Amino acid sequence: MGDDDDEEEEDEDALEMPPTEAFGGFGEEEGEMDTEDDEDERMIKLSELTPYIMCSICKGYFIDATTITECLHTFCKSCIVRHFYYSNRCPKCNTVVHQTQPLYNIRLDRQLQDIVYKLVISLEEREKKQMHDFYRERGLEIPKLAVPQPTVAGRGRPRKIVGPAFHVPPELDTSLLLEFIGANDLSRNFKPLEKKFVRVSGDATIGHVEKFLRKKMDLEPGCQVDIICGDHLLEDYQTLREIQQALGESAVQDGLLVLHYGLIISRDSTFPRIS
């Protein structure tokens, strides 16, 4: 009996000891494991992540991060939209984004923008304040700013489907390439269109194209505009769909209906239409 009592006392002493002492030999290993955890949780400087969250156009952090679907390069939405006013190529890799409407091939990257706002302290608040001040100073109605909701981790959470930033109306089914062939009066400095790619309805007529050219080039009423497709001088009443069907592949280049336009300047205020 005495031996049994001694064994029970030893068992109780073992239970009262800390786990490392009760099961001896594990103290140093636990200390080594703590050191490894500290190394895994080391702090990362924001400067190390800056190249991945910075817009290469404005050299600032992404605001409304927008990605080009053709090459997956990302920029601020306002920066890339402004860039596409003058070019249809990616400003980073020079890839052709779209022949006529590069804005159709960009997408808002909300997940990346949420990451930027979490990494850069007060960036979202400063951006909202600047927008608020901009509209207030100009007496404009202040839009409702989207406030990002906190993400709650959990199973079965529905995925957010990110749609296109710009929707292409189905009626705009014809892409034009408008090429300037010059004018008969070389003394006047006529500048061709800055954006020669246009997307319109196939029901639009040559008369509509002429009005578009007159407005964009600020032409005088006495200036005659001749529009040609291939070797054919086109009439005002002809629709773009009819022209494409009549001339076939000879009128199309890389999916674009190619129209050439020239200007005829005369002292007379009226001109007979060439038939």
Q: Rg of the chain's alpha carbons, rounded to an integer?
A: 34
Please say if the pLDDT value at position 225 is more than 70.
yes
Residues counted in the chain: 275
Q: Please check whether residues 211 and 129 belong to one and the same domain.
A: no
3-class DSSP state for residue 199? strand
The Cα 211–Cα 206 span in angstroms is 9
Among 77, 108, 137, give the residue marking a domain's end. Answer: 137
Please say if the pLDDT value at position 206 is more than 70.
yes
Q: Where in the sequence is the domain holding 178, given as residue range(s)?
A: 174-265
179: domain CATH number is: 3.10.20.90
Q: Please check whether residues 75 and 126 belong to one and the same domain.
A: yes
Q: Please check whether residues 132 and 181 belong to one and the same domain.
A: no
- DSSP for 77-115, please give it: HHHHHHHTTT-SB-TTT--B--SS-GGGGEEE-HHHHHH
Taking residues 99-113, report their average pLDDT.
88
Residue 76 is classified by DSSP as E
pLDDT tens digits, residue range 39-82? 566 777 888 888 899 999 999 999 999 999 989 999 999 999 99
13 in any annotated domain:
no
54: domain CATH number is: 3.30.40.10
Please say if the pLDDT value at position 254 is more than 60.
yes
The Cα 157–Cα 134 span in angstroms is 37
Share of the chain above pLDDT 70, in %: 69
Number of structural domains found in the chain:
2
12 in any annotated domain:
no
238 in any annotated domain:
yes
Taking residues 203-227, report their average pLDDT.
89
144 in any annotated domain:
no
3-class DSSP state for residue 36? helix
Most confident residue range from 11-15, 79-83, 178-182: 79-83
Among 137, 159, 188, give the residue marking a domain's end. Answer: 137
106-131 burial code (b ≥16 CB/10 A, e <16):
bbbbeebbebbbeebeebbeeeeeee
Q: Please check whether residues 117 and 184 belong to one and the same domain.
A: no
6 in any annotated domain:
no
The Cα 114–Cα 54 span in angstroms is 14
Q: Please check whether residues 128 and 180 belong to one and the same domain.
A: no
pLDDT at 7: 55
The Cα 166–Cα 57 span in angstroms is 21
Most confident residue range from 23-37, 158-172, 238-252: 238-252
Q: Please check whether residues 131 and 184 belong to one and the same domain.
A: no
56 in any annotated domain:
yes
pLDDT at 176: 87
143 in any annotated domain:
no
17 in any annotated domain:
no
Range 156-163, long-range pairs (CB < 8 A, 24+ positions)? 160/110, 162/107, 162/108, 162/109, 162/110, 163/107
pLDDT at 81: 92
pLDDT at 186: 63
